[in-house]
Amino acid sequence: MLVGMAIRMKEWGMLSAPGAGVHIPVQGVMGWDSAARSLGSGIASFIEGSTAWAQEKEQVTATGDLADFSRRLQHIGEEIRSELSERDIEDWDYSWQQASAPRLAEAVAELPPAAREAGRELAAAYSRRASVQALRDREVARLGQARTRWQQRVDAAVQAGDADGAEAWLQSGAGVFVPEQEVESTRQQVRSRASVARWRSALAQQPLQALADYDAAAEQSLPAVEDDARTLRNEVERCRSIARSTLAGELMSAVKADTSYEAATLQQAQQAGLLTAEQVASATAEPRRLQPHARCTWMQRVDECPADSSARTNLVLDIATAALPMEERRQLLERLEMAATVAPSDRLALSRCLRQLYDSGALGCPGDAVALQRLADLQLAGLPILAREGSEAAARWAEQQRSNAGQWVCFENTEK
């Protein structure tokens, strides 16, 4: 190797010196070097700017791809959540991983190469978060379902009026569905509501017996919560009102059919608060015919009876249980039915007009049997005129009775 190099150097020494190169004049082009440097610098800046623009463009494109990718991840998470929610799963993390891994890998592969690494990290983070969220929601839903089933058991016992059963279910959920510090107050509410339900059922099935039991009930068998107690009182009074109306209709039918009442029925009605002890005693007493003063008083009560159903029911019960012959009770009830077809104000005006004639002595001395009989005759005649011909005809008829005043001479007041 050294020998070869020595030969070449020797050869170089044997060659003649090279001739002079071509001479080029340089006048007028001495500033080209600075121009070249400026041009080179511009090209370099352009190249550098183009590179930065390309990188920025690539970053913007990648950002857009990742935004679309995040929406894709959300859709995948919702699909997996829906699928797993319908399955009985023991290992949630494993099941989620099995369902999500291939879908996430497919989604990442669809990204541009520059965005795949970021997409892979985003997919992993999102999958972990979505799995935890889905598991939490699943457990909350299962807990909610368990609480709903428990509450349904409590409510079912309450609605059945089973206070002990409702309390047992309540105790089973103490500390789980009901905080320990609220168990006692909730227990009182549950038992109170169950008491209302039990009484409500009894009122619907056997109203008379339930009303009697309610009136004789001990405090501990009634609702303890005031709102529940008020609700029950209102329902009891409503039931009693309906029962009184029903009883009035039954007694009226019995009077019309000339049928006597069973003593047991009257006694049960008294225990239920539908009849008073005086009404029951009167209904079972020996009947006596009406005296003139009592007859006028009964007809006046009928003619001036208010239009509300409660007042009419009370009057029906009074008439039906009065110690009168069945025929006279029937006549009064028939008069009450006729009075119901006339405006209360018209009935009241005519009744007061006739009473004023009596009190003024126009029919004779007040309290005299003849005057009382005359008043009764006018009452018997006046209401049918009012019902048949109207208030104007009844007013003319009453005025005609007034014009007959002075024909009566009072010798003695026999009213006791």
Most confident of 31-40, 67-76, 296-305, 393-402: 296-305
Instruction: Classify 3 as helix, strand or coil.
Output: helix
Sign of CA dihedral 61, 67, 73, 75: negative
Q: Which of 276, 205, 206, 203 is nearest to 233 (CA)?
A: 203
pLDDT of residue 406: 54
For helices 183-205 and 163-172, the axis angle rounded to 10 degrees is 150
Residues β-bridged to residue 178: 174
pLDDT of residue 63: 59
Of 137-146, 372-381, 388-397, the poorest mean pLDDT is in: 137-146
Q: Is the pLDDT of residue 62 over 70?
A: no
133, 136, 101, 95: which is closest to 120 by C-alpha?
101
252 burial level (CB within 10 Å; 0-12, 13-18, 19+):
buried
Q: What DSSP string runs through 50-93?
A: HHHHHHHHHHHHHHHHHHHHHHHHHHHHHHHHHHHHTS--S-HH
Question: pLDDT tens, 180-219?
Answer: 888 888 888 999 999 999 999 999 999 999 999 999 998 8
Query: Is the pLDDT reported for residue 350 higher than 90?
Result: yes
Which pLDDT belongs to residue 64? Answer: 62
When pLDDT is cut at 50, 70 and 90, the band that residue 95 belongs to is: confident
How confident is the model over 252-279, as a mean pLDDT?
A: 92
Q: Determine the distance from the C-alpha atom of residue 42 to the mean position of all C-alpha atoms in its chain, rounded to a whole number.
A: 81
Best mean pLDDT range from 15-19, 26-30, 185-189, 225-229: 225-229
Specify the pLDDT at position 107. Answer: 84
Average pLDDT over residues 52-65: 49
Residue 121 contacts residue 108 (beta carbons within 8 Å):
no
**Gap between the Cα atoms of 413 and 259, Å rounded:** 40
Q: What's the mean pLDDT when you consider all of the chain?
A: 81
Does residue 36 surpass a pLDDT of 50? no
Cα distance from N-terminal residue to C-terminal residue, the chain: 172
Q: Which stretch of 55-69, 90-104, 359-373 has the lowest confidence by average pLDDT? A: 55-69
Query: What is the structure's pLDDT at 65?
Result: 66
* CA–CA dist 130, 92 (Å, integer): 12
pLDDT, position 223? 93
Lowest mean pLDDT among 1-15, 47-61, 226-240: 1-15
Q: Which residues contact 232 (CB under 8 A, 6 or more apart)?
A: 195, 196, 199, 200, 222, 223
pLDDT band at 42 (very low <50, low <70, confident <90, very high): very low
